[in-house]
Structure 1
Amino acid sequence: MYTDTKTVGRKFELKAIMDNTSAYVDIEVNGELVRVKGKLAEGETFVLDTAKLTAKVVDSDTGETIRNGLSQLDELVFPELNPGGNEVLVSVSSAVFTELTIRGRSR
């Protein structure tokens, strides 16, 4: 019996308005928790790249990097999605969640 256990590298792109340092957005992926904390303004996107193990904040319109985002992670967690079904949960505290886009890697 063969079971495919490969994981797929992804980019998680979070849009939210977090206007104080105690604000956060939790993204739980298959039981792994990623907490993005601190300030994120309208027009900014937090990008978590699980393939490159990086995080950054970019301008939502131009895609230009504004700042490194690693300091906005509560812990260095880079979750992978499994081929097929996955469970992704989003919760917020003192933030306005706008959008979460998950971009897959081409195979």
Structure 2
Amino acid sequence: MKKFDIEHLPVLHNNEIVGAISEGGLFNRLIDDVNLKDAQIKQVMHAAFPEVSMDMPIEKLSAYINKENGAVISKDESGKPHIVTKYDIIQALGS
């Protein structure tokens, strides 16, 4: 996350999205229990990001992104997942 300056990541198992991790979520969990610094991802991940359609209007999409959920997943025509974050929405609205 640090190397690529990424705040949100889906967690995959057998090529399926099973959860997610985020900078804020990891921060909160480590503050609550410093021993989690050596935990496996499955112990610190949270629920998977909601999945939305690629053609969902930004106004509706933004309702899925909030304090508890910083991103959504949208799959393209080939089924490849893409993460959409608050930053992406800001960029789209600024264009």
Give the TM bin, normalised by the shorter chain: under 0.3
- Which of structures 1 and 2 has the larger relative contact order (alpha carbons within 8 angstroms, sep 6+)? 1
TM-score of the superposition, structure 1-length normalised?
0.25
Greater strand percent: which structure? 1
* TM-score normalised by structure 2 residue count: 0.27
Q: Which has the higher helix share?
A: 2
